[in-house]
Amino acid sequence: MEADVAEVVSLWSHVSRDVERLRDALAMGIACAERYLNHLRLDSGGRADTSPEPPWDEQQRKSLPAYITSGRLFDEDGYGELIQSGREPDGEHQRIADLLIEQDEVPRSGFPEVAKHVEMKAAWRLRESRAGSAMLIVNNVVCTGPISCVELLESVLLPGQVLTVYDPVKARRFEGRSDDR
């Protein structure tokens, strides 16, 4: 009987995790559909509207400071928090660097500048919150390369967490890696 209960609890855990992922995927799909529909609005003559309202991410991006790489991190409840690149007074950038070094993602010598990036801070804050997902709107393109946000964001997130980043060029979905990678 105890084995049956343990199996049901285990199955329920997997199902609830899958439901959360499905909910996140549906929310992203709805957001994308709304953005697409904004571009398809028709004027009264049946022609495509040549001046549609900008998509939601573009509207948010316009509110960000332009003098520094900035982003707005939205949690699952829609609360938005401004994040900017650079050092943090509370040492958050150092904790991110320490994690990357501990995971052997970056060389032990020197400081990984990527730890100061908006996207890495957003991933760290999602990790610390233990929430399932978040969206980040940034005013610059996500960096690429061997020691970059594109390569390292998923190692900062906890397994199963999802961070969707909307930069000026495209949206990218990052999912936390499992411990066994």
Residue 16 CB neighbour total at 10 angstroms: 10
Query: How much is the pLDDT for 93?
Result: 95
For 34, the 3-state DSSP assignment is helix
Q: Where are the domains of the chain?
A: 1-53, 54-181
Q: Does domain 54-181 have CATH number 3.40.140?
A: yes
DSSP state at residue 48: B
- List Cα–Cα distances, 9 to 4, 29, 71, 142, 168, in angstroms: 9, 30, 39, 40, 43
Query: How much is the pLDDT for 31?
Result: 56
Query: How much is the pLDDT for 55?
Result: 85
pLDDT tens per residue across all 181 residues of the chain = 777 767 766 666 655 666 565 555 555 556 555 544 544 443 334 444 445 567 888 888 999 999 999 999 999 999 999 999 999 999 999 999 999 999 999 988 889 999 999 999 999 999 999 999 999 999 999 999 999 999 999 999 999 999 999 999 999 999 998 765 4
Please state whether the predicted TM-score (pTM) of the whole model is above 0.85: no
